[in-house]
């Protein structure tokens, strides 16, 4: 029998009881019911996902005693816009994690962290100026305490910087400043723009710390990035691109600039693309990365002498993409991280003999950042499905990787879904495909669970064994999740990465569907409760799935591209798309682009669909989502379309990020008969009303 609470409270002795009753009603409405695992631990919901601290960019001090690093956290104040703020922290290299100290505070984020050469100062980028005229500038603060102070006042702001070897000069990357006439026109809103004209090129500058005098080092029809001083300060390596457009991002060339006379020389005599040049400690060698093309071509590691003699390839016989070169102190070995299937692992290249060997076998994602000047300590970040990234220290065998920070210790109170790598044969051609399976909290192999397929973006990307908030939210809410690394993914060599050229939506679709069937055959996935969602290329794939099968009960494409013909002209990466379609534009290859477009088959869609998209997306502009939505809407397919103001391709506003997670739970909860467990009742009720 249900007893209703009285609508009217009696004054006097019962006033406190009535107030308590009302507060309980409000609390019950706003908070989810108690959600716990079988062992009594809390379940991980969207509120917890927003609480996770993101640790990155560790830098070791010159004496090796301390590590500075960055921590991004969501600032969520009542009745204010939520935002992510990044602050600087420092921890002793030998730990413990409890000794970590936050150095910066306030509303502004910091980035591009660097130690001064004597180890007395920390430099970083942070906004300076009034709200309307805020620009990033270099700031310093003493390592042993005190407030930060602004160092540079470059008119256009600073994009990156590096200390000179003598510590007296900063090397800056900054755009050319607007002329007085341009500033006046902008102020008066006389600001018509001619597309592909007057592009803002980034230049190299020096900034004398003592005098605040600056000097421009480069000019011409190219933009620069990633400058590095030689150890003696007489040369600078930098990377050039023909324009700052995203489409030209892969067209990279490394140059060496002679500081005394300004002369510039190509690092390597090659037509291949070169980038990420790093000096050896003695200044005699330069390591760099190179690839023949972009997207699917392998990235290889080379070295060249400082006098720019013949180049030497160190990754012959190595099939994976080499990451940023990190020199050992003795100059004999270069270390780097590389994606290997579902992991990121550390490898070592022998400079004299050539060849690469793997060092360390700890599973997860090990992202190497630096090696101490004495050559004894390696640092970076490490994560796995149960632990978000934290700073690690290790010797160069990488057999004993020790965490030195613990910004997410509170996660020990939460039950997390177990994760493993699954393998299956593709129905396309029998190729072995693998992917990551995340099991529901309290998983029981004898039960069948509501299942979600989540293809990754790219397509030249990969799902890795790292902490993934989306995985854990879904696991807490009872879903079995599969993230397949279909053909076209990285981590298995160039041949596999290029296996979906001229084949979008064909072989990769069969790879994915074979993985779904493998989960059904294991008895884990409920064949009557299948769903799919994805973002970017994952959005394309889920749109494709929507048009090819009615096996799923619900599908949610995000930032998807259903019309490849129109997508080519709308996106900011036209050249990237041609890699997958015969190096041709769609007007020269119409049949291929249209054959692989979900819009060609949109009449087949019957599955309830929820489309999500950022309104300011430049990678996959919003007309792509509108095409798919309009077709489904007018064909009377159950469809919802949610757009997010101000968001580009990757969301940054915490409220929008949470809304997306919550909509997944409500949408799939309805169609897969699996009510959300972790979210407040009022939120679930409100979002449920948005579903037809």
Under 8 Å between Cβ of 234 and 259? yes
* Torsion angles phi and psi, residue 535, rounded to 5: -130, 140
Q: DSSP letter for 445, please.
A: T
pLDDT computed for residue 7 by the predictor = 33
User: 537-548 vs 507-521: helix axis angle to the nearest 10?
Assistant: 70
Tokens of 18: 């009535």
SS3 sequence of 152-198? CCCCCCCCEEEECCCCCEEEEEEECCCCHHHHHHHHCCCCCCCCCCC
Per the DSSP assignment, residues forming a β-bridge with 169 are 208
* Model pLDDT for residues 300-344, shown as the tens digit of each residue: 999 999 999 899 999 999 999 999 999 999 999 999 999 999 999
102 vs 612: CA distance, rounded Å: 37
345 vs 462: CA distance, rounded Å: 14
Under 8 Å between Cβ of 358 and 345? yes
pLDDT computed for residue 23 by the predictor = 43
Scanning the structure block, which residue is given the tokens 């002209």? Answer: 569
pLDDT computed for residue 143 by the predictor = 94
pLDDT computed for residue 31 by the predictor = 52
The burial class, CB within 10 Å (0-12 / 13-18 / 19+), for 166 is exposed
* Torsion angles phi and psi, residue 317, rounded to 5: 85, -5
Under 8 Å between Cβ of 484 and 512? yes
Q: Residue 662: enclosing H or E segment and its boundaries? A: helix 654-671
Tokens of 424: 């299956």
Q: Which positions ≥6 away from 685 have C-beta within 8 Å?
A: none
pLDDT computed for residue 582 by the predictor = 94
Question: Where does 508-620 show beta strands of DSSP type E?
Answer: 525-535, 554-558, 609-614
Task: Report how far apart, in Å, the C-alpha atoms of 427 and of each of 367, 433, 507 are.
Answer: 34, 10, 9
Residues in the chain: 692
- Residue 549: name the closest of 504, 505, 606, 491 by CA: 606
Tokens of 617: 């997306």
Confirm whether pTM is higher than 0.75: yes
pLDDT computed for residue 34 by the predictor = 56
167 vs 183: CA distance, rounded Å: 34
203 vs 199: CA distance, rounded Å: 12
pLDDT computed for residue 79 by the predictor = 86
Per the DSSP assignment, residues forming a β-bridge with 613 are 643
Under 8 Å between Cβ of 50 and 657? yes
User: 15-30 vs 681-689: helix axis angle to the nearest 10?
Assistant: 50
Q: Rounded to a whole number, what is the distance in angstroms from the first to the last CA of the chain? A: 33
* Torsion angles phi and psi, residue 525, rounded to 5: -95, 135
* Domains of the chain with bracketed CATH: 415-689 (3.40.50.1820)
Angle ∠(218,220,222) on CA atoms, nearest 5:
90
Flag residues of the chain having pLDDT under 70. 1-34
Question: Where does 271-325 show beta strands of DSSP type E?
Answer: 273-279, 285-291, 300-305, 311-313
Under 8 Å between Cβ of 41 and 351? no
Under 8 Å between Cβ of 487 and 460? no
Residue 164, number of CB atoms within 10 A of its CB: 18
Tokens of 552: 């799923």
Scanning the structure block, which residue is given the tokens 């007296």? Answer: 168
Pairing type for strands 449-453 and 432-438 reads unpaired
262 vs 648: CA distance, rounded Å: 39
pLDDT computed for residue 15 by the predictor = 30
* Model pLDDT for residues 541-581, shown as the tens digit of each residue: 999 999 999 999 999 999 999 999 999 999 999 999 999 99
Under 8 Å between Cβ of 35 and 91? no
Q: Which positions ≥6 away from 416 have C-beta within 8 Å?
A: 44, 385, 386, 441, 472, 475, 476
- Residue 632: name the closest of 656, 657, 601, 654 by CA: 601
Tokens of 58: 């560790």
Q: Helix H segments across 433-548?
A: 469-476, 494-497, 507-521, 537-548
Task: Report how far apart, in Å, the C-alpha atoms of 61 and of each of 36, 372, 377, 379 are.
Answer: 43, 8, 11, 11
Under 8 Å between Cβ of 631 and 599? yes
- Residue 236: name the closest of 161, 290, 151 by CA: 161
**From edge to edge, which strands make up the β-sheet containing 253-258?**
223-229, 235-241, 253-258, 264-266
247 vs 561: CA distance, rounded Å: 17
Determine the distance from the C-alpha atom of residue 549 to the mean position of all C-alpha atoms in its chain, rounded to a whole number.
31
């Amino acid at each position: 029998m249900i007893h209703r609470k009285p609508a009217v409270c009696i004054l006097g002795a019962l006033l406190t009881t009535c107030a308590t009753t009302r507060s309980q009603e409000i609390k019950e409405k706003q908070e989810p019911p108690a959600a716990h695992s079988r062992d009594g631990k809390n379940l991980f919901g969207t509120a917890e996902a927003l609480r996770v601290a993101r640790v990155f960019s560790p830098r070791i001090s010159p004496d090796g005693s301390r590590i500075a690093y960055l921590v991004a956290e969501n600032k969520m104040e009542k009745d204010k816009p939520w935002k992510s703020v990044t602050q600087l922290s420092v921890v002793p290299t030998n730990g413990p994690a409890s000794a970590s100290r936050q150095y910066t505070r306030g509303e502004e984020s910091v980035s591009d962290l660097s130690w001064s050469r004597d180890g007395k100062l920390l430099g970083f980028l942070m906004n300076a100026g009034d709200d309307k005229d805020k620009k990033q500038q270099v700031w310093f603060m003493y390592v042993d305490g005190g407030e930060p102070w602004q160092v540079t006042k470059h008119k256009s702001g600073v994009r990156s910087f590096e200390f000179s070897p003598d510590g007296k000069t900063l090397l800056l990357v900054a755009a050319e400043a607007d002329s007085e006439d341009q500033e006046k026109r902008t102020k008066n809103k006389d600001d018509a723009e001619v597309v592909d004209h007057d592009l803002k090129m980034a230049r190299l500058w020096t900034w004398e710390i003592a005098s605040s005098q600056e000097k421009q080092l480069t000019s011409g029809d190219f933009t620069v990035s990633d400058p590095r001083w030689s150890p003696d300060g007489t040369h600078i390596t930098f990377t050039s691109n023909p324009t700052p457009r995203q489409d030209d991002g892969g067209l990279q060339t490394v140059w060496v600039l002679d500081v005394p006379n300004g002369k510039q020389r190509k690092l390597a005599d090659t037509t291949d693309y070169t980038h990420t040049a790093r000096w050896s400690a003695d200044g005699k060698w330069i390591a760099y990365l190179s690839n023949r093309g972009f997207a699917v071509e392998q990235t290889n590691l080379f070295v060249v002498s400082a006098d720019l003699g013949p180049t030497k390839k160190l990754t012959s016989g190595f099939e994976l993409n080499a990451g940023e070169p990190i020199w050992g102190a003795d100059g004999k070995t270069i270390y780097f991280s590389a994606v290997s299937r579902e992991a990121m692992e550390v490898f070592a290249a022998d400079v004299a003999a050539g060849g690469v060997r793997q060092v360390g076998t700890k599973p997860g994602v090990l992202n190497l950042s630096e090696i101490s000047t004495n050559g004894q300590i390696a640092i970076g970040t490490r994560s796995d499905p149960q632990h978000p990234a934290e700073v690690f220290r290790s010797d160069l065998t990488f057999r004993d990787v020790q965490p030195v920070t613990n910004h997410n210790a509170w996660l020990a109170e939460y039950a997390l879904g177990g994760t493993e790598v699954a393998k299956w044969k593709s129905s396309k051609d029998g190729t072995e495909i693998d992917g990551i399976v995340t099991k529901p909290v309290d998983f029981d192999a004898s039960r069948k669970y509501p299942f979600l397929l989540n293809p990754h973006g790219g397509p030249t990307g990969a799902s890795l064994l790292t902490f993934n908030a989306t995985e854990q939210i879904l696991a807490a809410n009872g879903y079995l999740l599969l993230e397949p690394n279909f053909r076209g993914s990285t981590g298995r060599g160039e041949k596999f990465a290029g296996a979906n050229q001229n084949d979008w939506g064909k072989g990769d679709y069969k790879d994915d569907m074979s993985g779904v069937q493998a989960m059904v055959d294991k008895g884990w996935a409920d064949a009557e409760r299948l769903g799919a969602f994805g973002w970017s290329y994952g959005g394309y794939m889920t749109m494709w799935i929507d048009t090819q099968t009615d096996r799923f009960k619900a599908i949610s494409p995000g930032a998807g591209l259903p019309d490849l013909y129109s997508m080519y002209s709308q996106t900011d990466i036209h050249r990237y798309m041609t890699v997958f379609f015969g190096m041709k534009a769609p007007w020269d290859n119409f049949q291929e682009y249209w054959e692989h477009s979900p819009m060609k088959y949109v009449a087949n869609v019957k599955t309830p669909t929820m489309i999500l998209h950022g309104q300011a997306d430049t990678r996959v502009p919003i007309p792509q989502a509108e095409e798919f939505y309009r077709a489904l809407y007018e064909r009377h397919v159950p469809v919802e379309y949610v757009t997010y103001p101000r968001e580009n391709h990757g969301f940054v506003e915490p409220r929008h990020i949470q809304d997306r997670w919550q909509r997944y739970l409500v949408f799939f909860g309805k169609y897969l008969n699996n009510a959300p467990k972790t979210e407040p009742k009022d939120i679930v009720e409100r979002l449920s009303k948005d579903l037809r």
